[in-house]
Chain A
Amino acid sequence: MNAVQDDDAPLLAVEGLEKRYGRRVGCTQVDFRLWPGEVLGVVGESGSGKTTVLNCVAGRLAPDAGRVLYTDRTGAARDVHGVSEPERRMLMRTDWAFVHQNARDGLRMAVSAGANVGEPLMAVGARHYADIRAAAGDWLEKTEIELGRIDDPPTTFSGGMQQRLQIARALVAGPRLVFMDEPTGGLDVSVQARLLDLLRGLVTELGLAAVVVTHDLAVARLLSHRLLVMRQGRVVETGLTDQVLDDPQHPYTQLLVSSVLQP
């Protein structure tokens, strides 16, 4: 499946990314690279531009300037916003996954859990019902959802379960790159902890690359190898997670870190 790939080539290269909303700057001068198996956290307060960056990089929003280059399974570099919409949607369907803050945005609420997880497989050609159902069952177990719920619609699930179902649906078809937008936002603290453990385990087990947007530094510390700190649309600091959080250089980062409530 994987062709010979230059191991030095980053999976994702973002250059000079900029997006404006009228006069307001969404994000500007954003550059970073992401390698296979790496998790990049993007942190900042609301309004910092982190979600804008995520949406541009994930192909969901067209930037006003800059490029997003993705290296596909054949080793070819693809300009995410330069390719045609069909090609981009194909990438989004096969190579990438997106986990929304609100699980409802990433699920079909009227359809069973099993169908939700099975759909990405069927979208790429799976045609054996029992196999699809078995794969869905595996993933429900992996995301700690009771197998007996496989035929229930997500409307009957708790918030935490819906989020785990969304994750199962996102990962079932084996994407190389996952984008997450506040994956634990809106959940109880204890539920968050369980979800984070799960995510960390899956990312490591599957060798996924990920870009995770969060305002919660604890989430960033637990999940990401590297961090991008954003303020008012700009990247103010970047580096290894532990370094940035333990020894912040930029005054804003220092403020962020110091304002985290200590238990």
Chain B
Amino acid sequence: MSEARDPAYNFAYLDEQTKRMIRRALLKALAVPGCQIPFAGREMPMPYGWGTGGVQVTASVLKQDDVLKVIDQGADDTTNAVSIRKFFQRTAGVAVTETTAEASVIQTRHRIPETPLAEGQILVYQVPIPEPLRFLEPRETETRKMHALEDYGLMHVKLYEDIARHGHIATTYAYPVRVADRYVMDPSPTPKFDNPKMSDCPAIQLFGAGREKRIYAVPPYTKVESLDFEDHPFTVQAWDESCAFCGAQDSFLDELVTDDQGGRMFVCSDTDYCNRRREQGFRGSATEDAA
């Protein structure tokens, strides 16, 4: 439901000049997929590190008739998702939803929805550290050159070391990808499980890092490949269990601690996906005992 927005603020909080500046950055980002574009990020009413980049991107693309969904760790009801959703209800008065298929703009922290996205949808990711090489090379002056020169040897050194040391590539989230055969990009701390969803996706994917002041983007139907070796190909996580609520075997599962004897339960991280499945009659093991 659309609510009356707080008239003390411009639509979606940011002034039009700032939105224009951000949109220009977004257009540049879409024109060069995966390349980090600097933008003059502003202080927002929530702290840096809590989604200011995502919020600024969403604020810049939001229209009055949009339907907004906000998730954190895949759930609509986590405190940060609630806080951001309320922010936009207050400052933009847009309709909100928990149903992925009904949303036109989805802002997310650390997950991509399980429900496949469609053309016309925009997925806005919250990004803490936009630079995939940051922990290998702390200096911005160096990493900028490495991207410009396509000098990604260091990235593969890290993967090589992982295999030499552990026998596996040890990165399980924020797994680096190569976009349109050119730029290496950090997909944000989504689990590597979600990486395949980014490739050839019908929706527009926008990434905002507020504190680091960088924006990047992947236009629809763009190739996104996870870095790997030919003989150690990229694989996604798999569980022995299925979702205790809906029985899903193909979604990312959260592990819940149920008692102090080591009791565990696994449920879908994507709450909307799980709810839709249960509406369709699917059941998992936990619900069989329900009175």
Contacts and interface: CB of A to CB of B under 8 A. Distances in A.
- Direct contact between A and B judged by beta carbons closer than 8 A: yes
Interface of A: 86, 89-90, 93, 108, 111-112, 114-115, 118-120, 122-123, 127-130, 132-133, 150-151
A115 B231 contact: no
12 contacts: A89-B149, A114-B160, A118-B160, A123-B151, A128-B230, A129-B163, A129-B231, A130-B231, A132-B229, A133-B160, A150-B164, A151-B165
Contacts of A93: 151
Contact of B152 (A108, A123, A128, A133): A123
A111 B229 CA distance: 18
A108 B149 CA distance: 20
A108 B232 contact: no
Contact of B164 (A112, A120, A123): A112
Contact of B157 (A90, A119, A127, A150): A119
A90 B230 CA distance: 25
A90 B145 CA distance: 12
B151 A89 contact: yes
Contacts of A120: 153
A115 B149 contact: no
Contacts of B153: 119-120, 122-123
B230 A127 contact: yes
B149 A118 contact: no
Interface in B153-183: 153-154, 156-157, 160-161, 163-165
B256 interface: no
A90 B154 CA distance: 15
Interface of A is mostly: helix
A122 B156 contact: yes
Interface of B: 145, 148-149, 151-154, 156-157, 160-161, 163-165, 228-232
Nearest to B145: A89
B229 A119 contact: no
B154 A119 contact: yes
A170 to B, nearest CB: 14
The 5 closest A-B pairs by CB, nearest first: A123-B153, A122-B156, A129-B229, A128-B230, A115-B157
A153 to B, nearest CB: 10
A84 B119 CA distance: 41
A115 B149 CA distance: 21
Given A93-B151, A112-B164, A129-B163, A118 B157 contact: yes
A111 B156 CA distance: 12
Given A122-B156, A127-B228, A129-B230, 18 more contacts: A89-B149, A108-B157, A112-B161, A112-B164, A115-B161, A115-B164, A119-B157, A123-B153, A128-B230, A128-B231, A129-B229, A129-B231, A129-B232, A130-B231, A132-B160, A132-B229, A133-B160, A151-B165
A120 B152 CA distance: 10
B160 A151 contact: no
B160 A115 contact: yes
B149 A90 contact: yes
Contacts of B160: 114-115, 118, 122, 129, 132-133
Contacts of A90: 149
Scoring A93, A108, A123 by chain B CB atoms within 10 A of each residue's CB, the highest score goes to A123
B146 to A, nearest CB: 10
B157 A122 contact: yes
A93 to B, nearest CB: 7
